[in-house]
Chain A
Amino acid sequence: GAVVSQHPSRVICKSGTSVKIECRSLDFQATTMFWYRQFPKQSLMLMATSNEGSKATYEQGVEKDKFLINHASLTLSTLTVTSAHPEDSSFYICSASDGRANTGELFFGEGSRLTVL
């Protein structure tokens, strides 16, 4: 089946630094990718929808200047957490669709655990 790869799987950084997380669709082209945040024992919370070649669409309450999303190619989207603070520590997951997002199959990455000290 299709695979979505996320990197890094774990990252620890100091407060104030920026962290970049990559999401790649390995064997299909993804015009749309999604970024989620998940707190312990809670379900996924959609942060933004990343569209190849255009600006990301952010969910209400998500700071676009804080969470920079770039979808430069059909196989790669990046999430950059800028000036990270301890409250940004979370599990970040991406997903990608091989077709229209609400009708095609949706594949998730393995997630990236961010810890901000």
Chain B
Amino acid sequence: KNQVEQSPQSLIILEGKNCTLQCNYTVSPFSNLRWYKQDTGRGPVSLTIMTFSENTKSNGRYTATLDADTKQSSLHITASQLSDSASYICVVSGWYNDYKLSFGAGTTVTVRA
């Protein structure tokens, strides 16, 4: 069973609207959680990285939240643009000696005009 679950699997929104993506994890002990944006056929690009003590972090129109108690994170996209169409991947790190990262399956966002 994957230790990082993302929802929804995909969503379609109209340009200018907001949306929220969810990430639930079971990785423990927890080190940090990262959100990446991956355009089709490209490598992932970092949006945010949050440690245990951080509850929210913003990067432009992207705002990530973290609740380490409930092991949940969300990524909120404000005033979506066509360029936001991409896959958004949640990655969780635990305090493993082998530096293993746990990847979510991603949420595919399609922004339509």
Contacts and interface: CB of A to CB of B under 8 A. Distances in A.
B89 interface: yes
A101 to B, nearest CB: 3
Interface residues of A, number: 28
- The listed residue with most A CB atoms (<10 A of its CB), out of B46, B51, B89, B108, is B46
A43 B104 CA distance: 7
Contacts of B105: 42-43
Given A43-B104, A91-B41, A113-B41, A107 B46 contact: yes
A44 B106 CA distance: 9
Contacts, number: 63
Interface stretch (B13-21, B31-39, B62-70): B31-39
- The 3 A-B residue pairs whose C-beta atoms are closest, nearest first, are A101-B99, A102-B93, A108-B43
Given A43-B106, A46-B103, A107-B46, 19 more contacts: A6-B43, A32-B99, A41-B108, A42-B105, A43-B87, A43-B89, A46-B100, A46-B101, A93-B43, A93-B44, A95-B43, A100-B99, A101-B101, A102-B94, A102-B96, A103-B93, A106-B46, A110-B42, A110-B43
23 contacts: A6-B43, A41-B108, A43-B89, A43-B103, A46-B103, A49-B98, A49-B99, A100-B99, A101-B99, A101-B101, A102-B100, A103-B31, A105-B46, A106-B34, A106-B46, A106-B101, A107-B46, A108-B36, A108-B45, A110-B42, A111-B41, A111-B43, A113-B41
Interface of A: 4, 6, 32, 34, 41-46, 49, 57, 91, 93, 95, 97, 100-103, 105-111, 113
